[in-house]
């Protein structure tokens, strides 16, 4: 699980850089201010939770709690759903995609909450 998390972290970090550069240099000409705000929100949540997932992956060397696994699963799926739905919403303006965003947000919250028991349970 640890290596799979690190692979996701590295890919997500690279995708963040690519999309942020693309957004800053290309999309700013085509997007409305609202679309740009949505795009930037997706990027900021992606990198914040990618960094949280990276820190969580470092914790694996000391702690193999199942709660870290739950946390990682929630972070990965939360990033994909939350940021993914916002990226797609900003690119396509299909408003119904915004209905997925809260599901991703709940998963991100659960990712943080699932990490708490791992502080007390070490396996």
Torsion sign (Cα): 79, 81, 85, 88: positive
The pLDDT of 17-37, averaged and rounded, is 87
Helix axes 66-92, 33-59, angle to 10 degrees: 160
65 or 48, which is more confident: 48
pLDDT at res. 113 = 97
Q: What is the pTM of this model?
A: 0.91
What residue spans define the domains of the chain? 2-119
80 touches 96 (CB < 8 A): no
Q: Which residues contact 79 (CB under 8 A, 6 or more apart)?
A: 12, 45, 46, 49, 50, 53, 104, 108
The pLDDT of 51-74, averaged and rounded, is 91
């Amino acid at each position: 699980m640890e290596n799979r998390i690190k692979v996701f972290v590295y890919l997500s970090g690279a995708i963040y850089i690519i999309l942020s550069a693309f957004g800053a240099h290309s999309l700013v000409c085509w997007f409305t201010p609202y679309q740009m705000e949505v795009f930037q929100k997706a990027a900021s949540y992606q990198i914040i939770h990618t960094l949280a997932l990276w820190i969580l992956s470092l914790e694996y060397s000391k702690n193999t709690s199942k709660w870290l696994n739950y946390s990682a699963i929630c972070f990965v799926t939360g990033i994909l759903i939350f940021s993914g739905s916002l990226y797609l919403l900003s690119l396509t303006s299909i408003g119904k995609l915004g209905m997925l965003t809260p599901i991703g947000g709940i998963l991100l919250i659960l990712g943080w909450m699932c990490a708490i028991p791992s502080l007390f349970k070490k396996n």
